[in-house]
């Protein structure tokens, strides 16, 4: 896909310039090609109430270290051009492109739904992962504060929670995270894709810049919150050379663990990202796509478990070795973040804490403790 001279410039602050067709919809809406660029309206963010009747989602993927996920928002205004979650918007009748970053579903009932699900006797306490799909600290969180309200419910129940985010807004909630960390019930991973502020600004237009993310790692660590870094995604031919520098910078800021994921381009994400390359890195487009195909068996995406997050082949193995060597040199991954549900309780009801003689606490029957590592 090549940008023609008549193509309009990318909208400021957006990762996609257009709306690729929805694979489930027969009708396609296209902008008027004769409309002058100066008359094209900038896409504004719209918020919609999400009327979901349940909150926690369950997965059985062997690639993921968690069973239950919690996502306060659908769609994400960060606008990351590579985001694998973009195609989920097609199930709502929208597009993976601009719609994904301008039409945000807000789960205003999330705190009440979470309280109800944790209060249910069917809930066997174990760690929940927040931001398994879209970022729980995206710009909308400043206004709606759904994520904070969910964390407050978790603190009330002493429910273990892990968070992955690329927004420094997470430091706003240090007080709640500290309360959870007291019970070994909190861990945060800050996602860093590049240390180049200009590249990050074009690739992830409304996410925190790299310096702010490193500052967030420093503040979380100083507050006693277990914090790690996710180099996610590694973009072959564009950001892969930054992997050692990102890991070392995160370790210097106080990160104790690290993980990485190699970019994949499912469904319409292929179109969005290729258009982004045309707009922002045209001279690197062929190399990037060639490298992605090299680790994806000739494709831009594979969905098979075990291969979709890390890739396969010589280049994927080189990345794996580089990651292992660098983490060892930086002192990362020397300890695990093991979230514990031993302190879980249902306020106002039967406590799950069982006290042995002498006042020591045992893990409650039915609770589960598992690592909070993302990979």
* Per-domain residue ranges of the chain: 37-371
Contact 89, 31 (CB under 8 A): no
Contacts 24+ apart (CB under 8 A), 37-44: 37/8, 37/9, 40/8, 42/11, 42/12, 43/11, 43/14, 43/98, 43/102, 44/102
Closest residue by Cα to residue 268 from 143, 14, 81:
81
Round the CA-based radius of gyration of the chain to a whole number and report it.
21
**pLDDT at residue 7, rounded to an integer:** 58
Kindly report, residue by residue over 292-327, the tens digit of the pLDDT: 999 988 888 877 665 656 778 899 999 999 999 999
SS3 44: coil
Q: Which residues contact 273 (CB under 8 A, 6 or more apart)?
A: 81, 82, 265
User: Which segments of the chain does DSSP mark as H helices, in order?
Assistant: 98-102, 110-119, 140-144, 146-157, 174-181, 197-203, 210-222, 243-253, 269-280, 285-295, 314-330
pLDDT of residue 299: 85
Q: Which residues of the chain have pLDDT under 70?
A: 1-9, 29, 31, 35, 37-41, 61-66, 304-309, 349-375
Tell me the CATH class for 37-371: alpha beta
Q: How far apart are CA 313 and CA 291, in angstroms?
A: 11
**120 vs 109, 113, 162, 242, 345, CA distance in Å?**
17, 11, 21, 46, 12
Residue 162 belongs to what H/E stretch?
strand 161-165
Q: Can you tell me the distance from the alpha carbon of 156 to that of 154, in angstroms, rounded to the nearest whole number? A: 5
Question: Residue 14 contacts by C-beta under 8 Å, 6 or more apart in sequence?
Answer: 43, 79, 98, 101, 102, 205
Adjacent-strand bridge partners of 338: 371
């Amino acid at each position: 896909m090549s940008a023609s001279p008549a193509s309009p410039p990318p909208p400021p602050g957006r990762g996609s310039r257009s709306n690729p067709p929805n694979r489930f919809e027969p009708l396609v809406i296209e902008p008027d090609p004769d409309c002058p660029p100066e008359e094209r309206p900038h896409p504004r963010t719209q918020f919609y109430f999400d009327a979901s009747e349940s909150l926690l989602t369950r997965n059985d993927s062997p690639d993921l270290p968690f069973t239950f996920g919690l996502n306060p928002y659908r769609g994400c205004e960060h606008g990351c051009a590579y985001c694998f979650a973009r195609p989920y918007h097609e199930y709502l009748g929208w597009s993976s492109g601009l719609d994904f970053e301008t039409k945000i579903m807000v789960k205003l009932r999330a705190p009440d739904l979470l309280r109800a699900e944790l209060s249910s006797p069917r809930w066997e306490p174990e760690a929940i992962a927040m931001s398994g799909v879209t970022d729980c600290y995206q710009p909308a969180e400043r206004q709606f504060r759904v994520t904070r309200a969910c964390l407050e419910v978790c603190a009330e129940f002493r429910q273990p929670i892990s968070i992955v985010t690329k927004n420094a807004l997470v430091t706003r909630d240090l007080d709640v995270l500290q309360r959870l960390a007291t019970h070994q019930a909190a861990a945060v991973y800050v996602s860093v894709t590049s240390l180049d502020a200009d590249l990050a600004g074009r690739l992830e237009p409304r996410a925190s810049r790299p310096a702010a993310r490193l500052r967030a790692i420093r503040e979380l660590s100083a507050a006693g919150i277990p914090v790690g870094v996710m180099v996610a995604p590694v973009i072959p031919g564009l950001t892969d050379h930054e992997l050692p520098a990102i890991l070392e910078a995160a370790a210097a800021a106080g990160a104790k663990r690290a993980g990485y994921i190699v970019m994949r381009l499912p469904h319409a994400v292929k179109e969005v990202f290729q258009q982004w390359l045309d707009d922002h890195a045209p001279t690197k487009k062929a190399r990037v796509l060639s490298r992605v195909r090299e680790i994806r068996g000739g494709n831009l995406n594979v969905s098979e478990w075990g291969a979709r997050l890390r890739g396969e082949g010589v280049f994927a193995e080189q990345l794996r070795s580089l990651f292992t060597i660098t983490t060892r040199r930086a002192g990362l991954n020397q300890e695990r973040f093991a979230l514990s549900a031993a302190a879980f309780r249902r306020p106002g009801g039967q406590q799950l804490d069982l006290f042995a003689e002498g006042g020591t606490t045992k893990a409650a029957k039915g609770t589960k403790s598992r690592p909070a590592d993302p990979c």
